[in-house]
Structure 1
Amino acid sequence: MNWQHKKQPPFNEHLGVKIEEWQEGRVVISVDLKPEHLNSQGAPHGGFITTLIDIAGSYCGLYCPNPNRRRKSLTLSLTTNFTGQAKTNHLTAICTLTSAGYKIFYSTTEVFDSQGTLIATGQMTMRYRSGSEILEGEVIEESLTENIKRVPI
C-alpha cells in the first residue's frame, strides 16, 4: 500500500498518530494516549480529540495512490460532538467522505476507544488547495519542515 510510505506532517508524528487504513474516501487513524493528551481529570482532552477529527477529516478526502505525490486542503468548518468518555488509552478515528465537489469536500468522523465506546463525532467542510483537486495530486518537492524554516517569524 503506497500510503504507508508517505511522511506525515511533523505535528501528526509528534502526537503519535498512526494511519491504519487509507483509501479513496475513507481513513482509519489511531493513537495511544500519552499523559500530555489528557485533561486535569485524566481523560483525553477535548482539544486533542478534536485534533484527531481534524486529521482524519482531511485525510479521508486527500488520498493519493502515488507515493511521490500528495494532496492538500484547508479546514473551513469543523463541528465536534462529545458522546462518551474513553475507558482505554487507545483511540481510533474512522472517517468517511460524505460528499465532494471540485474544490470542497465534506467528511464525517467517529472516534472510539478500544472497547468500542463512541467518544466523539465530527463533521468537516474542507477546501482542496490548488493542485490537489484531482486524485493524482501534486509532486512532493520538499519536506514540510523545510517549508516551516523559510517562514519569517
Structure 2
Amino acid sequence: MTQQQIAPQGIPVGYPYGVPFVDHLGALMIEEGNGSSMLILELRPEHRNTHGAAHGGVVMTLLDIAMARAVRGQTRHQGDADHGVVTIEMKSSFCQPGLGDRLFARGTAVHRTTSMCFAEAELHDENGVLVARSSGTFKVLRPRPATAPKPAK
C-alpha cells in the first residue's frame, strides 16, 4: 500500500491491491466485502478538467474500480478464491459536475453467474450530490494455478 489515511469516520483506508494506476490517482478503499465497496478520492488539480470539475476519465475510473471491487468482494464472501475480474462493458451517465474536494464511489454486485457478474456504482461528492452512475459487466477470471519455482542453473 503506497498511501494510508484516515477516513472522516476514523476508519483507516488505503488501496492495498497493487494497481499502479489507482495508486497514481490516490483512490483509497474505505470498505469492501459481501458484494459492495466504497472508495474515496481527494481531488487534486490534475484530476480536474478546464472547468474545475472532476475529469470524466477520473469519474469513470472510480466507478469502474468500485464495481470491480464489489464483484471481487462478492466472490470471496461466497467462499470462492479471490478471482480477478476484467471489465467487459461499462455504461456511465454523468449527472452533475464533481466540483467538491472529495468524491465517493459506491459499487454493488447485482447478479453473478459462474463466469460473469453484473454490477452498478454511484459517485457522489462530499455534499451527497450524485455526480455519475454506472453499470457494468465483469468477467470473473479463474485463479491461476501456483507454479513451481524453476530450478536454479
CA drift of 1:7 comes to 3.0
Aligned length: 129
Identity in percent: 26
Question: Do the aligned partners of 2:14 and 2:28 also contact (CA within 8 Å) in 1?
Answer: no
Cα deviation code 1:50-96 (max 9, x no counterpart): 0111111111011247xxx7431111000000011223110000111
Separation in 2 of the partners of 1:28 and 1:106? 17
Three-state SS of the structure 2 residue aligned to 1:60 is helix
| Residue of structure 1 equivalent to 2:101 | 89
| Residue of structure 1 equivalent to 2:50 | 40
Distance 1:53 1:70, change over 3 A: same
Larger radius of gyration: 2
Question: Do the aligned partners of 1:87 and 1:115 also contact (CA within 8 Å) in 2?
Answer: no
- What are the equivalent positions in structure 2 for 1:4-153 lying under 5 Å apart? 6-63=16-73, 64=76, 70-131=82-143
| Residue of structure 2 equivalent to 1:151 | none
Distance 1:5 1:90, change over 3 A: closer
TM-score by length of 2: 0.77
Three-state SS of the structure 2 residue aligned to 1:93 is strand
CA drift of 1:47 comes to 1.1
Separation in 1 of the partners of 2:16 and 2:45? 27
Question: Do the aligned partners of 2:15 and 2:23 also contact (CA within 8 Å) in 1?
Answer: no
| Larger RCO (CA under 8 A, 6+ residues apart) | 1
